[in-house]
Amino acid sequence: MSYFIGRGDVYASTRSVTGTPDGFTFLGNCPELVIYPNRAFNRYATGVGAGGVLGSLAQSGDLPSFSLQLDEVLKENLGMFLHGLHTTVPGSSATVSITPVVGKFIPLPHINLTSITIAGYTAGVHYIPHLPTGGITILPACPPGAISVDYAWGSYNKVGMHTTAQPYYWLRLNGINVGDDSRPVVVDMFKVKLGVPDKLALIGDDFASMTFNGTMYYDDLQPDLEDSGRILQIRSVIT
């Protein structure tokens, strides 16, 4: 069962060792954020009499979770959701040795090629070049044996998938509460892990609308007994 449904601008930040945000990165416009508070982090008093120390925890049920939809995802942010890194590969040139197999596509180490040269071989006779995707298809006229391929490429973007450990983020929504007359609201989720998107659809340099699921975790570094997050809502709007 969902507890909160909102929409607005979503930001994410890595966390410092003290549990504070390092600085937020704008992720995009969120048509819908749904929180499912399945588990309550209940503190209870320990010790003797009224002087008991508030701090022990009792937990039950599944971890709280959320579903986050973004209108589009910038390529610079995609690494965050794929648990990898976004890098720009600069253009350059290289020589590589390959073993040709007739009728097969042979990939080269880079894409966005600007040229392919194989000494003693002719494109369209011995091989078919595939410049955008970075490779060649070997034709029957190509003689057996290793061949040396000289090629050059232009710069391109690369996002590694699952190349880093899944980090914790502080997630914030600045928006409105759909379930309460669209009143302004700020939602903070102090310690979350983002799941991978349900699909990737590339449009131009960015990725189309995506839905992410995530998990909320208990954060004992937060003050005021706010264990996993908070919803700050304005009851009356100043005009």
Average pLDDT for 140-153 = 94
- In the chain, where does the domain assigned CATH 2.30.110 lie? 4-44+56-86+160-233
73-93 residue pLDDT tens: 776 677 676 767 778 899 999
At the top level of CATH, the class of 4-44+56-86+160-233 is mainly beta
Residue 204: predicted pLDDT: 53
Residue 49: predicted pLDDT: 37
Position with higher pLDDT, 210 vs 139: 139
The pLDDT of residue 111 is above 70: yes
Position with higher pLDDT, 53 vs 136: 136
**E strand spans, the chain:** 4-14, 25-36, 40-46, 53-60, 65-70, 86-89, 92-98, 105-107, 113-117, 127-130, 135-138, 147-153, 156-159, 169-177, 183-194, 202-203, 206-207, 210-216, 229-233
Residue 134: predicted pLDDT: 95
Average pLDDT for 12-16 = 90
Structure tokens at 121: 């071989």
117-131 residue pLDDT tens: 999 999 999 999 999
Position with higher pLDDT, 24 vs 181: 24
For 127-147, give the DSSP string: EEEETTTTEEEE-TTSPSS-E
Region of poorest pLDDT, from 51-55, 115-119, 145-149, 231-235:
51-55
C-alpha distance across the termini of the chain, in Å: 35
Position with higher pLDDT, 63 vs 190: 190
Structure tokens at 11: 């930001």
Integer Cα distance of 239 and 226 in angstroms: 31
CB-based contact 70:7 (threshold 8 Å): no
Residue 203: predicted pLDDT: 47
Residue 25: predicted pLDDT: 87
Residue 95: predicted pLDDT: 97
CB-based contact 153:92 (threshold 8 Å): yes
Structure tokens at 73: 């995802």
* % of the chain beyond a pLDDT of 70: 73
Average pLDDT for 89-98 = 96
Residue 62: predicted pLDDT: 65
